[in-house]
Structure 1
Amino acid sequence: MTIAVTGASGHLGRLTVEALLSRNAGPVVAIVRDPDKVRDLAERGADVRQASYDDPQALDRALEGVNRVLLVSGNEFGKRVEQHGNVIAAAQRAGVELLAYTSIPRAEENAMILAQEHRGTEELLAKSTVPHVFLRNSWYWENYLNGVGPAVESGVLHGAAGDGVFSAAARADYAEAAAVVLTTDGHAGRIYELGGDEHLSLDDLAQVISEVSGKPVRYQDLSEHELAAALEGSGVPAQFARVLADSDTGIKAGLLDVTSGDLQKLIGRASTLAAEVLRTAVAG
């Protein structure tokens, strides 16, 4: 059985390739735009194939002989449904027996900006003939790594999530879950709502940062508009700043709080704690 991972040079894709290689489940194909970025994966035995989400012919070559695929959602906002559609069409032409897609919790009803293209992709898959499974990943603790330093330095963690809670996990947790789904049977047609064991507010997260850094950090709640402006002022592109601020509004509404236990069942353990992930940022 040959398993392919798209976006294999990205954070989640790379971790999934590594998880698959460690399971010795068969040939692993790493699909990337730039093979130079994954030379280490090639040295570990991955079959590196070059293709982008915008190149149907290259995707056909990349999926030749592949049985199962992890479609890692792209990062080009506004283009992702079309790009993901190219992968789905190539998978259909290749006769892929299972395609797993990394989506977002409750995609069919999630009001977050981030959910729009996930919902569109899920709809494309539902219309296709490719057997598929949705891996609806909640938030990543790594989303906060870049903000730990400024929060520790200023003593303030800014956000717009109010007292809403979210169930984040480490990227490696989600990668391990994907590897389990890709290497075992019985997942076609399933929807996995994936989230961590901790259900934290941003006020709780500020306390975690305080604990791991040894310096007091408090949470300051802003409006969505204020947060977007602050992010843009710190150098975040305007469109992405709006997406991030809207995501905090989604947290406030409970849209990233997952209680299914699906992640824990798939990986057979508790999820990685926020302190463990954020401690690496403080140490670094």
Structure 2
Amino acid sequence: MIAVTGATGKLGRLVIDTLLETVNPNEIVALVRDPLRAEDLGAKGVNVRQADYNKPETLHSALVGVQRLLLISSSEVGQRKAQHRAVIDAAKSSGVQLLAYTSILHADTSTLELAVEHRDTELALVESGLNYVMLRNGWYSENYTASVSPAVEHGAILGCAQEGRISSAAREDYADAAAVVLTSEGQAGKVYELAGDENYSLSELAAEVAKQSGKTVAYNDLPREQYKIALIGMGLPEGLAELLADSDSAAAKGDLFDESRQLSQLLGRPTIPIAQSVSTALKH
């Protein structure tokens, strides 16, 4: 059986949707904190099991009979090292044969604050003795396109990435790649640097939004601290504002850039262009 953690999350649901195209539903396990949120998956024949990162006692039984496991990184920044370790320990004691982990692009060298817990998890995986695959996901296009409508409304995209190149891909691309790895042989020990085929700067993103919307949209590059203050002023929690400012700062250093095209090679198709992601965002 193939299990996916965080199965009711945005990425998890997409992975399961892709798996259902080629895998029998009763061979798929949706691991969720709240089974009530996964009733639609259960209706499709998927096995729904409770698995709470913060309750290690739920993890071992949730993994009984699972051969391949996708550990989707927790969204609780600051708690992920312990949460991921609990899943890894349960996977080992349950006899999981392959664990794929959604890490971060160039985790070993990235200056992003987010990379620290990913490096810790990768080390824990290596030390566990489990067969593993590192899916080092680059930036999600949705991280930027989620703010397309406000950008059109206010005529600006804010950031502190300067002219750093960003090789983002759509969430769908990363989900499809995870499904390929989970259903393919010979994956143990591989480390994938996954990023979009194209790359762009935030000024180029602003130009694309302007082109498609027919409105004036400019990129306003701010000093990091000013960008953080602006995000807080928009109502974002300070912690999230700090992470976004840090991410843009990392982009300015090249940490969100990759041109290896390992993602499209794994998919057997091009990644979804940023222009298409912008178009999708403008329709919603």
- Shorter-chain TM-score bucket reads over 0.9
Contact 1:3-1:68 within 8 A present in 2 as well: yes
Cα offsets for 1:245-264 (capped at 9, x unmatched): 00001111111111121101
Supply the distance in 2 between the matched residues of 1:120 and 1:89 (Cα, whole angstroms).
14
User: Who is 2:8 aligned against?
Assistant: 9
Taking structure 2 as the reference length, the TM-score comes to 0.97
Residue 175 (structure 1) shift: 0.4
User: Who is 1:226 aligned against?
Assistant: 226
Q: Secondary structure at the match of 2:21?
A: helix
Residue 61 (structure 1) shift: 1.2
Q: Secondary structure at the match of 1:204?
A: helix
| Counterparts of residues 46-65 of structure 1 (less than 5 Å) | 46-65=46-65
Supply the distance in 2 between the matched residues of 1:244 and 1:23 (Cα, whole angstroms).
37
Q: Secondary structure at the match of 2:192?
A: strand
Supply the distance in 2 between the matched residues of 1:36 and 1:77 (Cα, whole angstroms).
25
Taking structure 1 as the reference length, the TM-score comes to 0.97
Q: Which runs of 5+ in 1 are unaligned?
A: none
Supply the distance in 2 between the matched residues of 1:37 and 1:231 (Cα, whole angstroms).
31
Residue 281 (structure 1) shift: 2.0
Residue 107 (structure 1) shift: 0.7
Cα offsets for 1:189-245 (capped at 9, x unmatched): 110000001111001111121122221211010111111111111111101110110
Q: Secondary structure at the match of 1:22?
A: coil
Residue identity matched to 1:206: A
Residue identity matched to 1:7: G
Supply the distance in 1 between the matched residues of 2:46 and 2:148 (Cα, whole angstroms).
34
Q: Secondary structure at the match of 1:48?
A: strand
Supply the distance in 1 between the matched residues of 2:67 and 2:204 (Cα, whole angstroms).
43
Supply the distance in 2 between the matched residues of 1:213 and 1:172 (Cα, whole angstroms).
23
User: Who is 1:98 aligned against?
Assistant: 98
Residue identity matched to 2:54: D
Supply the distance in 1 between the matched residues of 2:131 and 2:163 (Cα, whole angstroms).
39
Supply the distance in 2 between the matched residues of 1:25 and 1:182 (Cα, whole angstroms).
14
Residue identity matched to 2:129: T
Q: Secondary structure at the match of 1:45?
A: coil
Supply the distance in 1 between the matched residues of 2:213 and 2:40 (Cα, whole angstroms).
32
State the percentage of identical aligned residues: 49
